[in-house]
Structure 1
Amino acid sequence: MRWDLGRTLAAGLAGTTAKAPQSAAAEWFNWNTLQHCEPWTFSRPTTEAQVADLVRAASAAGHRIKTVGAGHSFSGITLTDGLMLQLDALDAPLSVTPLDPSAPWTPGSPSKPASGSAAVEVQAGMRVHVLNSFLASKGLALENTGAIALQSVAGATSTSTHGTGRNLGSMATSILGLRLVLANGTVLDASASLNPGVFRVARVGLGALGVIVRVTVRAVPLFKLRRTATPYSLKELLPWVWPQAFNRWERMQWYFTPRTDSATLLLREAVPFDTPIVDCWNGSAKLAWRDPFADQVADWHSNANASDVQVVSGPEGPTPVVPQASRRRGVTQAGGAEPVPTGPSVECVDLSYRALAHQTDDYDLYEEMEVFVDANASQALMEEFIAFQNSTPLPPQPAGSQPWAKYALFTGMRYVAKDDIALSMMNGRDTGVISFITLGNHTHPADPSTFAHFAEQLERLGNADGGRWHWGKMNWATAADTARVYPASSVSQFLELRAQLDPSGAFLDDYLVQRLPNTGSVAR
């Protein structure tokens, strides 16, 4: 994210007793610069007490309140014209507690796993990559993570950020406890045994329930993974990957460059802890930049190198891969024969968190959306989207002063286990996740109209399968869509808790009002 300090807004929080650093002159931009807002004031509290004072004063004055971490959301979920809080200063580890108090527990180190799992409490502004490093210092790790580790812990979990794994849930499923600051400035702790109704919903709270200031996560003994990326013909990979590859490997995903026949199968497999490390990033941040989605080891830009990444546009014409086929919704046919790789695999072995996500900033700016459907419907939906990608003309680049980058296209599939969290995208069903990305360069994103041309169609196709959207990524969903694709009991559970904790709608914003039923009347 970045700040433009050239604009001056209204004065800050009158009457607050908090001494948090504040700014009243800012236009806020998210990390890829495509989302922006002008908050009434911006504050960086350094204590939970300051958070409570700031929230209480802003709420009493009738201002809306949002919390921002790395600004790595692609949607408008963090935008506000009210108080914007950044909790970067609340980033300390607080406690490590063995989960089995009856068994002896010994902490470990990056070279030795802890003797058992633990509950680890941290302040919610801690970035995920900092959490990963802290856990490793104790011989611990998260069981699964997303592909990016830049977000704050609260931001990543509140939008149900996920990785891939047939039997692995999103990052929110690792939460054991939360501390929320409510709109009236009071503090509420929630866990499976303390305020369990709040806990069940607030793990994916969308920033609509309060400000999360503490998170307790379940950490497992540190482990290693072998990360293997193997190139295939998309035409040959597609009929085999579901269900054969899905059933064979736990942590499997695959992706391809649209309008080409170039695809990659990416596996992460557990190995004995004494397996020597072959560094997944070779100790080089720039090598990580060549893998902007943390899902590709091979260099997929035809003229890129580690020191000067240049992005080339996609092919001018389509290369048909999968014909448009009629299908019965929600049913995917059995797969085909195992394909032969088109080239050598690229392998590394590393500590789990380094094999799951890169820990550096994204070098190239990109735009992303995801559609979440029942895993059994995911393959057929992908085939429909590929058919559209191959048949549609590429949109012309718009004329104008904005120097949009030449772009590359990316589409991928991951899998996530179901959960019971009210507005988690995986609520009630094992899920296939289709991701679409337009990649620009390190100074400019791709033209948003190019992204929308493909992404809106993916969303339309997914609607027939009850497709849900990632709350933190681009989407065009409405409150009617939320009511249609989530269980009615889950929507009611979320809305009732929101009304109970924040009756005046201090934590609502335009994005949430557009997507949460029956919230317009209480929005500020």
Structure 2
Amino acid sequence: MMKVDKGKTWKNWAHTSESTPENTFYPTSIEDVCKLVKEASKQQKKIKVVGAGHSFTSLVQTSEWLVSLDQFSGIETINEEACYATVLGGTRLFQIGEALGKRGYAQENLGDVNVQSIAGAISTGTHGTGIAFGNISTQVLEVVLVTGTGEILTISENNNPAYFKACLVSLGSLGIIVKVTIKIIPSPVYEYKSQKIAYSQLSQQLEQLIKSNRHFEFYLFPYSDVVQVKTMNAVEQKAQRMELHHFKNLVMENYLFFVISETCRILPKSSRFFSKISAKGVSTTIKRANSYQLFATPRLVRFREMEYCIPLENLKPALEKIRECIVTKKHKVHFPIECRTVKADDIWISPSYQRDSAYIAFHMYKGMPYEEYFHDMESIMQQFDGRPHWAKMHTRTTEDLLTLYPKLSDFLAVREELDPEGIFMNDYLNTLFNGERASRPPR
């Protein structure tokens, strides 16, 4: 029998969205999911599906029915000869990494957080970094979707191809993703290197750093001329043990940073000082490990986040504007600004649609005012043709989004076709896709 929680309050990871659904369901099979959708249609109920709750928006907020796929997870098939794996929709990314790793395989790229479900990650356009790689959705070969009528659709370039580019990033608005087939690769051993360099050096070498490294990202520290650069490249050597590396990440990037963040919350004017100290504290680190062990780091310090995707050629001028604005406006922020690169794709509402991209992520510690900082950073991103990350805070209007995404109208037509009663919509999505203004981020 399917587990059901009645009146259980749900919060996302960042505590920016909270609701008390009438019922929370935990299906264990595709048949359970189909029955739920058909019953929701019969009772005229709305359904939202939740994975790890790592979206900063109100994508899954509902007072009606919430569906968790936590009990519908696992690896169904690993085909080593054809290099693909089929996984159930609720499977977390770290579970996929561990299961594939035991067989000597891996996903070709991952983000810096790996607790999301595979269905949630592809639905919101989750990405890693590396200009040769698209977002995680580009790894998808096939999706099995339960539509708003309870029908099971297998969608790929060969099956129902008219829906394929729409369903790869869909914000959960087309149906419930119950199964995903993804490309896999023989698991590489990477050499991970973290170091600090001067901003002037970064500016001079940026194009070369992007082109010459398999995976490259960097962090700007507000009020500092020091930049942290991280690279990962394949090597022939054996992997090292990672216990000490993970311990250092846990202590330095979480516990110590929590103390710094609390100090900045209590004494906001100290943000400039601690940002500079954090930058100076970046040490040179070199490690070798399997790729899936290096992509992600634990995130225990809660924050608010806005992330924008801009054309890659706009990255350098955008950085100049960002640095100038923070100093001029004296923003009280100590979180570093994360910058990554992603290859162009042809997924209809992917932020990287038809353009090689730079993603710039802005963070503010939970409990510190973020509105003015995010407003100013968003204004800069708009100047550089920025598209918002769907799982992060933003204030773009429906009119804005229709301009930014040439295929959004086509996507919405597919949405109406697969979910004619709007079972998978909520207030946030209605405002985002049909309203005059996108919902303001919660406090």
Question: Alignment partner for residue 50 of structure 2, among 59, 68, 74?
Answer: 68
In the other structure, the counterpart of 2:377 is 458
In the TM superposition, what is the alpha-carbon distance from 1:33 to its structure 2 partner? 1.4
For residues 437 and 280 of structure 1, the distance between their equivalents in structure 2, rounded to whole angstroms, comes to 27
For the residue of structure 2 that corresponds to 1:288, the secondary structure is helix
Write the distance in 2 (CA, Å) between the matches of 1:131 and 1:40: 32
Q: Distance in 2 between matches of 1:285 and 1:92?
A: 27
Q: 2:290 aligns with which of 331, 351, 366?
A: 351
Deviations 1:212-258 (A, max 9, x none): 00011000011111111111233x23422432322332311110221
State the partner residue of 2:224. Answer: 260
Structure 1 Cα separation of the partners of residues 204 and 367 of structure 2 = 32
Q: Where does residue 159 of structure 1 map in the other structure?
A: 124
Q: From the superposition, tell whether residues 480 and 231 of structure 1 become closer, same or farther in structure 2 (CA, over 3 Å).
A: same
Structure 1: state its 5+ residue gaps: 1-18, 99-104, 106-116, 293-300, 322-340, 396-406, 440-444
CA distance in 2, matches of 1:519, 1:184: 28
Question: Are the counterparts in 2 of residues 90 and 123 from structure 1 also a CA contact under 8 Å?
Answer: yes
Task: Tell me the percent identity.
Answer: 27
1:152-210 deviation digits (Å, cap 9, x = unpaired): 01001111100001111000000011111111211111111111111121011110000
**Contact 2:147/2:419 (<8 A) preserved:** yes
Name the CA distance, whole Å, in 1 between partners of 2:292 and 2:9: 34
Which is worse superposed, 468-477 or 56-65? 56-65
Corresponding pairs, count: 428
Alpha-carbon shift at residue 63 of structure 1 (Å): 1.6
From 45, 50, 55, the equivalent of 2:32 is: 50
**Aligned residue in 2 for 1:515:** 432
In structure 2, what is the Cα distance between the partners aligned to 1:147 and 1:283? 15
Q: Displacement of 1:493 after TM fit?
A: 1.9
The answer to whether the 8 A contact 1:154-1:212 is kept is yes
Superposed CA deviations along residues 319-365 of structure 1, whole A, max 9, x for unmatched, are 9x9xxxxxxxxxxxxxxxxxxx998621111100111113x5x2211
After TM superposition, give the deviation of residue 460 of structure 1 in Å. Answer: 1.4
The residue that corresponds to 2:249 in the other structure is: 287
Question: Where in structure 2 are there 5+ consecutive unaligned residues?
Answer: 438-443
Which whole-Å deviations, capped at 9, do the CAs of 1:358-384 have from their partners, x for residues lacking one?
3x5x22111111111100012211211
Distance 1:22 1:342 in 2: 48
TM-score of the aligned structures, taking structure 2 as reference length:
0.91
- The structure with the largest helix share of the pair is 2
Correspondent of 1:475 among 383, 394, 409: 394
Distance 1:434 1:509 in 2: 28
The 3 A distance-change label for structure 1 pair 63 and 283 is: same
Contact 1:483 1:517 in 2 (8 A): no
Aligned to 2:441: none
Look up the match of 1:434. 360
What is the Cα-based RMSD across aligned positions, in Å?
2.4
CA shift for structure 1 position 461: 1.3
**Contact 1:169 1:419 (C-alpha < 8 Å) held by counterparts:** yes
Q: Secondary structure at the match of 1:415?
A: strand
Query: What is the aligned partner in structure 2 of residue 270 from structure 1?
Result: 234
Q: Tell me what 1:384 maps to.
A: 321
Q: Aligned equivalents of 1:57 and 1:446: distance in 2? A: 40
Question: Per the alignment, do residues 281 and 370 of structure 1 end up closer, same or farther by CA in structure 2, a change over 3 Å counting?
Answer: farther
Structure 1 partner of 2:8:
26
Counterpart CA distance in 1 for 2:251 and 2:164 is 37
Change (3 A) 1:463 1:139: same
User: Distance between the aligned counterparts of 2:330 and 2:387, measured in 1?
Assistant: 27
What residue is the counterpart of 2:336 in the other structure?
410
Higher relative contact order (CA 8 A, sep 6+): 2
Structure 1 residue 276: deviation in Å? 3.0
Q: Cα 1:290–1:68, aligned 2, differ >3 Å: closer, same or farther?
A: farther
Contact map agreement 1:232 1:342 (CA 8 A) in 2:
no
1:249 matches 2:213: yes
- Bigger Rg over Cα: 1
